[in-house]
Every structure is written in structure tokens, then in C-alpha cells.
Chain A
């Protein structure tokens, strides 16, 4: 176990290093003179000097990386030359919104996927199983950006349900009920995408688990169906579910971006897209770095949880 965790940590550091190099190099993909592209042609000499210092532009490229990463590790991601606020504080303000949307959607997805998958697996090819299998297969082909646009079209535009349309976002500290109302549509849209994946993974794994001998054993002991499902079948199958959830995080985050973009929710995704459109490159770079490292960290935590649930994995 310890060896496994150590190996994973080494891997984690390697990946974070690669991400940092990638994010650093992004700036050099820009065409032309970097200071002019980032700050615009009319940038004052002081601002140009500041950017030079932040990025270490007068040095050879590998030294630039160390200058930049040094600043990043001290929490200095630069200052946006458009909004004049520090990139780090912009990210700190936007990040909780992303986390909240993801959290809500995951609760919804697990709360629906687990019981329905269990029902399905109990009677494979029954009406419930057929309906949900066909339905989830169809939904796999509907990208989240279409789900959310159609939801907005039918629910907020056609039915006119209040607090769900674009620009109706209310912050949590301002009014928590209003906040939950405004995030209901995004959370449901993301939950649908996750539900489909979790349902399919858990269902097929449960069907396989229910054919194992220890289940027959439990049945012959006369244990209740519910107890067999939760205590005997769910635990081994939950490994597959957790694995799917870990892999799902990146896609979930991107779906969150799409939803925020449509509904003008000022999370990281919305901030990122508007930064791209305004050529606020330092902000884009900062968000990319934070988000990528975040996804990798969450994946790492999921791996760790899976190991606790099923210790055999680390022994392989």
C-alpha cells in the first residue's frame, strides 16, 4: 500500500510538472511580440517591465520557466491587464461556483444512478432495465451543451419558469435559496450526463457480481434481497463506479464550462471563455493551470479512495 501510494505521488508530481511546462509554453504559442499581444499595442513601459519581470522574458526560455514557476508557487499568477485585478484573486472568486455545480450534480447523479442500477441488475432484461438501458444509450449521444440549450428553451423560455434563464445567477452569500434555484438547471443538466455513465457502469458490473458464488451463498443463507444488494454486491461493484466517477471529472468540468457560458454563471468556465474572447491571456493561462492541476488532484484522490474500498488493487 505504502509503496503504491509513493509511486502514485511520484507520478502525480511528474504530471503536475508536465502540466506546468505546458501551461508555461502556451504563452509562446502567441504570434508576434508577447508583451504587445498580452498588453495591447498601447501598453505603458512600466506595465511592460512588470510583465518582463513576471515572465522573465529577457532570459533564455528554460530560465523563463523557472522564473515563472517561482512566481506561480508563490501564488503570483500575474495581473490581468484588462481588468487590472490579480489573476489569482479572480480564480479564487470563481472556483467555488464550479465546485458547487459539480457537487450538486454529483449528488443528484449518484442518488438516482445507484438505486436504478440496482433495480435494473436485479432483473436484467425486465421492463425497467430495458427502458433505462435504451434510454441511457440514447442519452449518451446527446452532448451536454445540447441538453442545457434544450432545457433552457423548453423550461425557461417556453414554460417561463422563473430564476432559470440566462443571467439569473444569484451568489450563495447573497441568497442561498435563490442560488440553489439558479443552479438547478445546470446541476440537472450535468447530472444527466453523469447518470448515464454511472448507471451503465454500475449496472453491468452488478450483473456480473450477482453471478458470483458468494451471492448464491448469501441467498442460501436466507439473507434479504436488500441486504445482499447493499452489503454483498454493491461494495465490490462500487470500485467500477468510483473509477468511472474519477475518469468523469474532466468531462464534467468541461460540461460545467458549457453550462456557465450559456447561463452567464460567473464560474471558471465563463471567466475562461470571456478571457479568451478579450485576449486576456494571463488569466487564460492561470485558469488552465489551476483547472488541470485540480483535475489531476481529484483523480489522485479517487484512486486513493478506490484503494481503500478494494485494497487488492495496490497489491497487484
Chain B
């Protein structure tokens, strides 16, 4: 996992200089939230929206530029690019959400437990995770997806999700460690609170801000990874549209139809930018700086 392209950002995210006071979230933050929301709504309700069928091929209108009828134009098979971009967000969003669900579902509880219990459990688990972290995850993902055929969305989510577990584990563990030694945890222990109560009621709310901003950046990383896999033709099979495979299809006809690459690229980059921005703002807002990896 250590080799996901944007990994350093996550690392850096926790090491930046400290702002003096609680920073306001700002207008841009809410614009980004709105954009993400719009994308999610679009992805969920794509088949109820009044847009063309993304698989419908209109051979009399091939490689057309943007017009009122086809907002983003049509591709080399006469399919409407706008509706393909809208439908394409489904793949990216499900990979982002699904993979992080697996990553956090497995990595976060393990990380919290390890940091809370310490001892041999922690030592063994952390060493195992470090070994896994050293493994070039992108290569592993490509390798597994190339052998584990046929490639389906479900398999892609599972492979990327599992690959993200060690990284989530490490971040959550270090975050928990920094909280677990604080006085109020000791106080809770002295009062005789159960482990379960301490983990859920004392530790969890305190690491939630870090976890959430990390989660958003993680979703962005995973979506970028799926895009790259789709670009290489290793994600969902055509004709199902996804932002990555639309860009892949466009690469041979760049000369004829530049719109086919520009719109899905813009959709993907804007989405990632908003996620990264929200994650970054939240981190500043909650002043997540004391944790050191």
C-alpha cells in the first residue's frame, strides 16, 4: 500500500505546521461538498434522470462535438458522452466507497485494538502490516486482477480494499496511540470502565476527525488507482462506461475527438480535487497536527 501514488500526501497530511486557531471551513469547502453530493446523486439516480442511454449507439452522429442535444458530444460509436460520464461515475464511486469500507472495516478496528492493548498482539500485527506495506501494492493489484479473471467490479473492490488495509491500520494505530496515553483515558480506566466502553466512547470520538479526513483522501487515492487500472484496461469490461476506460477508449482517436478525453478527465480530476480539498480543510479545521507517524 505504501506505493499508492498519492500516499505521501497522507503522510505529509499529518506532519504539517500548526495553525494558531481553529480555521473556518470557508465557502470553497461547501462548494466542494456540493459537487461531491451532486456526483453521488447523479450516480445513484442515473437511470431515472432524463439522459440518454449510455450504451445506445447512434451511427449517424459519430464523434460529434458538444451541442444542445449532446452536451458533451458523442464518441466514436455515436454514444452520448454526457450520459456516459454520469453513468461512469458509478464505477468510481462504488470502488471508492466499497474499497474504503473494506479498508476501514478491517484496518481501523485492528489498529485501535493494537494501540489500545499493546503487548504481543500489537507487536506481531504491526510487524505483519509493515511487511505488507513494503509490498508494492499497485503491482500486486495489477497482478491479481490480471490472473483473477473475469474482472468484475466486485473483485476490483475486494482487491483494492484489501490492499488498503495495512495503510489504514497504520494511520489509525498511530492516531490511537497518541490519544491512548492521555490522562482522560487513564481516568476512565481507573474508574473501572470496560475496554469496550473506552474504545467506543473515549477513543473513537477522539480519533474520528483524523479518520474522516484520512478516509476522504483515501477514497480519492483509490478512485485514482481504479482510473489508472481502467486506463490500462484492467477494470470493468466495456461497454460499461467508467471515467478511466472512457479515457482509454479515446487514446486512439485523440486527433478526431478530443472531447472524449477532456470531459471524463475533467470529471475525474474535479471529483478528486474536491475530495482532497475537503479532507485537507477538515484536517486544518480539527487541527490534526499532534499525531506523528
Contact = CB atoms under 8 A, between A and B. Distances in A.
Nearest to A25: B147
A143 B147 contact: no
Contact of B228 (A27, A31, A145, A208): A145
A86 interface: no
Contacts of A253: 3, 136, 138-139
A18 B135 contact: yes
Contact of B147 (A157, A261, A284): A284
Report the interface size class on chain B: 35 or more
Contact of A193 (B5, B220, B262): B5
A255 B261 CA distance: 18
A261 B261 CA distance: 16
Nearest to A23: B143
Given A11-B131, A26-B143, A157-B255, A149 B5 contact: no
A113 to B, nearest CB: 12
B2 A292 contact: no
A201 B142 CA distance: 28
Contacts of A305: none
Contacts of A200: 8-9, 12
Report the interface size class on chain A: 35 or more
A1 interface: no
B138 A250 contact: yes
B276 A141 contact: yes
Interface in A152-204: 152-153, 157-158, 166, 193, 197, 200-201, 204
B140 A140 contact: no
A144 B5 contact: yes
A248 B269 contact: no
Contacts of A292: 135-136, 139-140
A276 B143 CA distance: 9
B233 interface: yes
Given A29-B144, A149-B251, A150-B261, A143 B228 contact: yes
B270 to A, nearest CB: 8
A166 B9 CA distance: 31
Interface in B259-278: 261-262, 265, 268-269, 272-273, 275-277
A214 interface: no
B233 A273 contact: yes
- If over half of B's interface residues share one DSSP class (helix, strand or loop), that class is named, otherwise mixed; here it is helix
Contacts of B202: none
A11 B16 CA distance: 30
A204 B2 contact: no
A29 B147 contact: yes
Contacts of B9: 140, 197, 200
Nearest to B272: A141
B247 A291 contact: no
A254 interface: yes
A18 B131 CA distance: 9
Interface of A: 11, 14-15, 18-19, 22-23, 26-27, 29-31, 137-138, 140-146, 149-150, 152-153, 157-158, 166, 193, 197, 200-201, 204-205, 207-208, 244, 247-251, 253-255, 257-258, 261-262, 272-273, 276-277, 281, 284-285, 288, 291-292, 295-296, 299
**10 tightest CB-CB pairs across the interface, nearest first?**
A250-B3, A251-B5, A141-B272, A141-B273, A250-B136, A254-B138, A295-B136, A288-B143, A29-B147, A276-B146
